[in-house]
C-alpha cells in the first residue's frame, strides 16, 4: 500500500488523458525525485494555467492576455479568417505555420438534437466580426460531421448577400498529416 500522499499524487496523474495506473505510478515516482525547486515550479505551472488562461476576447483562442498574440499581430493578412471549433486547432495551424490570417474559435458546434443552438457557441460574434472586418475569405475547418455541416450552413446563411467566399477544409489531426 502506498502512503496516502503518494496515492493521492497517483490519482491526480490518472486524471490526465491516456494515463492508466502503471503510468501514473511511474510519473508520481518521477515527481518524488524532482528537486524542491522543480517541484514548486511544476505545481505553480498547473495552478497558473488554471488561473491565467482564458479565451481571447476577440477570437476565443486560449491566451493569458486579454487579447491573444495572434489578434494583436498587425502584420497578418486581414482578408482571411479560419473558423475552428477548438483552440487546439489554432495551435495546430500555427505549428504548421503557413496560414497568416486570423482565427475564430467557436467553442462548439451547432447541434439542435443536443440542445446546442447558435447562441450557445461563439458563432454570432463570428458573423459580427466578419461583417465589421475586411475579410474576403472565410475558411471553415470543422469536423466532417452533421454538427460541423449544420454550423457551416448557418455561417453561410448568415453571410448571404455579403461578398465573402466561404470555403471548407477538413479539420483536426489530418491537417497536420496532409
Residues that bind Zn ion (CB under 5 A): 56, 58-59, 61, 68, 71
CA dihedral of residues 108, 82, 69, 94 (deg, nearest 10): 100
Tell me the closest approach of the beta carbon of residue 81 to Zn ion, in angstroms. 11
Query: Toward Zn ion, which CB reaches closer, 59 or 126?
Result: 59
Query: Toward Zn ion, which CB reaches closer, 39 or 53?
Result: 53
Tell me the closest approach of the beta carbon of residue 104 to Zn ion, in angstroms. 9
Query: Toward Zn ion, which CB reaches closer, 71 or 164?
Result: 71
Tell me the closest approach of the beta carbon of residue 59 to Zn ion, in angstroms. 3
Tell me the closest approach of the beta carbon of residue 148 to Zn ion, in angstroms. 22
Segment 102-105 long-range contacts (CB within 8 Å, at least 24 positions apart):
102/59, 102/70, 102/71, 102/76, 102/78, 103/59, 103/61, 103/70, 104/59, 104/60, 104/129, 105/55, 105/56, 105/59, 105/60, 105/61
Query: Toward Zn ion, which CB reaches closer, 68 or 81?
Result: 68
Amino acid at each position: 500500500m502506498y502512503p496516502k500522499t503518494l496515492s493521492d499524487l497517483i490519482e491526480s496523474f490518472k486524471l490526465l488523458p491516456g494515463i492508466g495506473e502503471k503510468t501514473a505510478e511511474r510519473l508520481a515516482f518521477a515527481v518524488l525525485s524532482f528537486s524542491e525547486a522543480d517541484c514548486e515550479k511544476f505545481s505553480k505551472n498547473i495552478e497558473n494555467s488554471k488561473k491565467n488562461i482564458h479565451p481571447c476576447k476577440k477570437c476565443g483562442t486560449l491566451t493569458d492576455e486579454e487579447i491573444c498574440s495572434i489578434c494583436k499581430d498587425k502584420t497578418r493578412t486581414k482578408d482571411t479568417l479560419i473558423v475552428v471549433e477548438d483552440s487546439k486547432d489554432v495551435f495546430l495551424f500555427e505549428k504548421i505555420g503557413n496560414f497568416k490570417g486570423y482565427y475564430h474559435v467557436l467553442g462548439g458546434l451547432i447541434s439542435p438534437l443536443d440542445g446546442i443552438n447558435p447562441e450557445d457557441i461563439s458563432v454570432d460574434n463570428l458573423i459580427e466580426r466578419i461583417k465589421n472586418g475586411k475579410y474576403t475569405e472565410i475558411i471553415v475547418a470543422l469536423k466532417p460531421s452533421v454538427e460541423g455541416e449544420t454550423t457551416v450552413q448557418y455561417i453561410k446563411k448568415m453571410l448571404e448577400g455579403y461578398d465573402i467566399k466561404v470555403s471548407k477544409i477538413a479539420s483536426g489531426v489530418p491537417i497536420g498529416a496532409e
